[in-house]
Structures are given as structure tokens and as C-alpha cells.
Structure 1
Amino acid sequence: MFADPLTQRLTDFIIGLGIDVRVGELPDDTFLPGVDIRFGGLVIDEKRLAHPGDILHEAGHIAVTEPDARKAERLEPSDGEEMATLAWSWAALTHLGLEPAVVFHPEGYKGEAEWLVETFTSGGAIGVPLLQFYGLTLEPRQAAERGVAPFPNMLRWLR
């Protein structure tokens, strides 16, 4: 489907989670170049895609959205859902064995990518309480009580 092996790998992962991915031409004014969320799936324009890791972030928005709201034409994430998406993206890149800069690149996250990487690397939990509330992961204490690995391990990927 995609010429770039990383783009294909990320797409295969997302499709495996049950998130629809389509190839299509996108206008220049999408929030992230070359990827857009439409009706609960991703549309990817590989020619315009600036950072393949943005695919994971956008998939994270779909993943943390309530199932009934997921299929809306456009998603309007709350601040909490945005934080949960950051944690989801970290879990996904960890699961895939990717370098953090693939997703948390310098051109994104309002100049805070380096801070986010440092925060997650040092065990920070931005968004993790919401992922736990959604039943997607567990923080260390609850994970230990249940005998499972804590975040960034995911119990499941879709809310």
C-alpha cells in the first residue's frame, strides 16, 4: 500500500487494531500534513505525509474516543482525550520498538516533544489515568495487584 516501510509498518499495526486506513489525496490544510481522521478511520496521503509517526498519534485519537462517537465525520477531542492520546502514542511506539522521535518529533507538540519524551522516559504518567479509566492499561500498583505489566503495556488498544 505504501512505499515507505515505516509508514506501512505503522499502518499494518493500526489496521490490526481494527482502525480503518484508506489511501487518499488530502488538502494542504489538514491539522497534520498527509494524515486526517474521517468517519472513524485514517486517510493517508503519502506524498504529503511529513512524519509517519503522526499516523500513530492520529490513530490514538480514534482509539481513545468512545465507540459511539468514533464514527463521527470529524473528531473533536477534549483536553483529556488529547492527554490520553499522548500516552496511547507512547505505548504504541514502545510496543513497536520505535525510537520516541518517530512520534514525538521536534516539529510537533507545540515545541514540547523533547519534554514529553523526557517525561515518559522517566516514568511520567501524562494521560495514563485516563487510559486506565478507559480500561486500556493499568498504573504500576494496580497492575501488580492484578499480575499484569503496567503502562506502557496495554490491556487493549481501543476504548
Structure 2
Amino acid sequence: MRKNTPDNFEKCIAFLNDIGIKTSFRTLDDSSFLPGLQIENGNIVIDTNLLEYPGDLLHEAGHIAVVSSKDRKALTAAALIKRNNREAEEIMAIAWSYAACMHLDIDPSYVFHENGYRGGSNDIMESCSRNEYMGTLMLRSVGMASKSGEDHQMDRWLR
């Protein structure tokens, strides 16, 4: 059984830095979409004083991970909203963050908490657990997720 423990946040930070999504800590204002997190130039800035849901870190990282490498370095929260494929990238980011939870042995409710995803967290987790979530197929189609049939196995963490 996967667990949510206090060290999940540190585990996520280490994982993201290891795969090439850099994280840093500093004071942010409260204008970011997710409290305490901001995407700047393909990196994640974290303000632990404002961070309400630490698992949101993996979802934001998923956004960075699924954009092309040529777009990643200039990615910001404002640019994310204006991207032509933002809906597809949102779906892939959800599947990516679920796969990251599986990889890190973290309960998916760490990311898919009850106050997120417009009340659809349980449906998303259920769909992902059955390997039926559309985002998983999309990750496979862009060569990030394994086509071998293994549940949530990623071949590459960055597109």
C-alpha cells in the first residue's frame, strides 16, 4: 500500500531535480494559480509558507515535463495558459503526476487531493489505476510512457 508521509515532499523535490526539473525556494506573492508554486523558465519556485497542498508540486512538474524541450526553458505559468495544446498538456500532466506517484511509492491522493481537480480527484485516480485515463495513452503516443503494457511505466520523464 502506498503511503503519504511527511518525507513525500522531499522525495518529490529530489526526484524532480534528478530528472532535470529544477526547484528553488523563495518568497512568492499570492498571485500564483496554485498557492506557493510558480513556474518560471521551466523551473518550479516554491514558497513553503504559502504552499497549501505539497502534492501540487508534482502536477506543476507534469506541465513542465510534457512540453517539448524547445519550449520548456521559456515556460511560465502565463505562457502555459496560452499554449495551443494546453488542454492536451493538462491531461498528460495529470497522467504524468499519477505515474510519478507510482514511481515514488506515494499514494496518489497526495496529488489528487479532495480540494483539487474540480471535485474529480477520485474519478481521476480510479481511471488512472485501471490504466484507462486518456492522458496515459497520450503519454504513450509522444514516446514518454511505456507501450509494453506495464501500468504507469515511463520510458522518459521529460518530453
Q: Give the alignment's TM-score, normalised by structure 2.
A: 0.87
**Does the CA-based 8 Å contact 1:40-1:70 persist in structure 2?**
yes
Q: 2:148 aligns with which of 117, 137, 143?
A: 143
Runs of 5+ consecutive residues of structure 2 not aligned to the other structure = 1-5
Aligned to 1:101: 109
Deviations 1:80-105 (CA, angstroms, capped at 9, x unpaired): 00000011011000011111110000
- Taking only aligned residues, the RMSD between alpha carbons, in angstroms, comes to 1.4
**Aligned 8 A contact 1:61 1:82 in 2:** yes
Following TM superposition, the consecutive aligned residue runs of length 4 or more in structure 1 with deviations greater than 2 angstroms are none
- The 1:124/1:73 distance shift into structure 2, 3 A limit, reads closer
Matches within 5 A, 1:123-134: 123-134=131-142
What is the CA distance between 1:117 and its match in structure 2?
1.1
Q: Which segments of 5 or more consecutive residues in structure 1 lack a partner in the other structure?
A: 145-149
Greater Cα shift, 128-137 or 98-107: 128-137
Return the TM-score normalized by structure 1. Answer: 0.87
Instruction: Please state if 1:22 is matched with 2:27.
Output: no
Q: 2:42 aligns with which of 35, 40, 53?
A: 40
User: Once the two structures are aligned, what percentage of the paired residues are identical?
Assistant: 37
Which residue of structure 2 lines up, in the alignment, with residue 147 of structure 1? none
Structure 1 segment 117-128 matched on structure 2, within 5 A: 117-128=125-136
* Residues in 2 aligned to 1:20 and 1:10: alpha-carbon distance in whole angstroms: 11
Aligned length: 148
Confirm or deny: 8 A CA contact 2:8 2:106 kept in the other structure. Answer: no
SS in 2 for 1:52: coil
Q: Which residue of 2 aligns with 1:51?
A: 53
8 Å contact kept, 2:36–2:49: yes
Shift of 1:73: 4.8
Question: CA offsets, 1:32-63, max 9 Å, x none?
Answer: 11111110000000111111110100001000
